[in-house]
Amino acid sequence: MHPAWASGGHTSLIKRSDISLFDSRLRTARDTRFNLYEKSCSRAARKEIHLDESMMFELFELCQYMAFKICGLKVSSIELSGNQELLTLVQEAHK
């Protein structure tokens, strides 16, 4: 199950990055984003890392950014988390 804020979470990144809403890569990016997020959350649970709501949102944003890059979308840079634990979860999920 995805958090409620996840359903439309990519629109601000699309706007900031000047990506067309008709770009065919968006669907793949969306699926990749959810896949990364689910894997990252599973890894967090296995490592007994407690994710509060703000950490979950930050994790989702990192997954979104990574998914867009994986799918070849030029995205505006985001302020990367100072939370190395979250960055590591996303990087491991991508492997």
The predicted-structure confidence for 17-30, as pLDDT tens digits, reads as follows 778 788 888 889 99
Domain assignment present for residue 65? The answer is yes
Domain membership flag for residue 13:
yes
Is residue 78 domain-resident? Answer: yes
The two tokens of residue 13 are 């990144």
- In-domain check, residue 1: no
Q: Please check the confidence at residue 77 and state whether its pLDDT lies above 80.
A: no
pLDDT at site 11: 62
Tokens 């699309």, residue located: 14
Predicted local distance difference test score (pLDDT) of residue 49: 93
Q: Residue 3 falls within a domain, yes or no?
A: no
Name the more confident of 52 and 15: 52
* Confidence (pTM): 0.78
Domain count, the chain: 1
Tokens of 2: 């995805």
Write down the mean pLDDT value for the chain: 83
Residue 78: the pLDDT is 66
Would residue 2 count as lying in a domain?
no
Residue 49 counted as domain residue: yes
Distances (CA, A) of 39 to 16, 34, 57, 88: 26, 8, 15, 12
Query: What is the average per-residue pLDDT within 56-69?
Result: 90
Domain with 48, as residue range(s), is 8-94
Residue 37 counted as domain residue: yes
